[in-house]
Homo-oligomer: A and B are copies of this chain.
Amino acid sequence: MPRKTHSSKAGRSHRDAYHHGDLRSALIEATEALLAERGLAGFSLREVARRSGVSPAAPAHHFGDAEGLLTAVATHAFEGLTGALEAGNARGGADPVARLREQGVGYVEFALRYPGRFGLMFRTGVAGVRKDAALEQAAQAAFAVLEDGVRALLAAPRPAPLSAAQWQALLAIWSIVHGFAHLAIAGQLDRAPPPGVGPQESGLRAVLAGLLEQQLRGLQRIAPSGARRAPGARRRAATSGSR
């Protein structure tokens, strides 16, 4: 794509009136922006085409129909989430608690940065998004990163199946980041603001990190002995959360 970097709106130059360059990506981006602005109920194929500076018939060449586009967006979103979780792992270094905590921060930051994608990802089958092998695989890949993080925390490597208590731990951490993300997007976390922390997003991030730290220390107690590290961190975790 050497020719065209400016993903313009309607006013494309005469030079490239045809052959957009990377219309497929442009349509996906426009869809994400539209979903973030108006939600799934406000999505329309024509509006996406309009924002991409393209005729209403153009998207059909790449995605078949509206469902096809939304499914591609959801798949793309899961790939992005996988990347965010892996980046969190990297940020966390060697300590499994820190790795998983940063995965959680990455999860929520992804959801807040791309609420359009996030809202779509978990709506499979209900409306608009088609069940699709590529989509399911992308979703499974993201989940696997989280599961591996919990396995490392609990010293329960693959391929052994998780025990009931281990599965419960996985579910707890997933629920907490997923719920936090939803509540933050919905603006519900301003309902009872923390004493020391303002409603800014950076404060939110610190609260989340502290919350996860405490959560993970608790979960780690169900691991076989010897799996715990950084023993001095427990007291720190109990009082962190504000700045």
Interface size class of A (residues with CB under 8 A): 35 or more
* A242 close to chain B: CB less than 8 A: yes
- Interchain CA distance A174-B179 in the complex, whole Å: 8
Chain A positions 164 through 198: 1 when the CB is less than 8 Å from some CB of chain B, otherwise 0? 11011011101111111111001111011011110
> Are B182 and A180 in contact, with the CB atoms below 8 A?
no
Chain B residue numbers with a CB within 8 Å of A171 are: 180, 189, 207, 211
Q: How far is the CB of A232 from chain B (nearest CB, A)?
A: 18
A192-B146 Cα distance, complex, nearest whole Å: 12
Q: Which residue of B lies closest to A42 (CB)?
A: B127
Q: Contact: A238 with B165, CB < 8 Å?
A: yes
Give me 24 A-to-B residue pairs in the complex whose CB atoms sit less than 8 angstroms apart, sorted by A's number. A38-B127, A39-B41, A39-B126, A39-B127, A123-B186, A139-B191, A143-B192, A161-B195, A162-B192, A163-B195, A164-B195, A164-B197, A165-B239, A165-B241, A168-B207, A168-B211, A171-B180, A171-B189, A171-B207, A175-B175, A179-B179, A179-B182, A182-B182, A222-B238
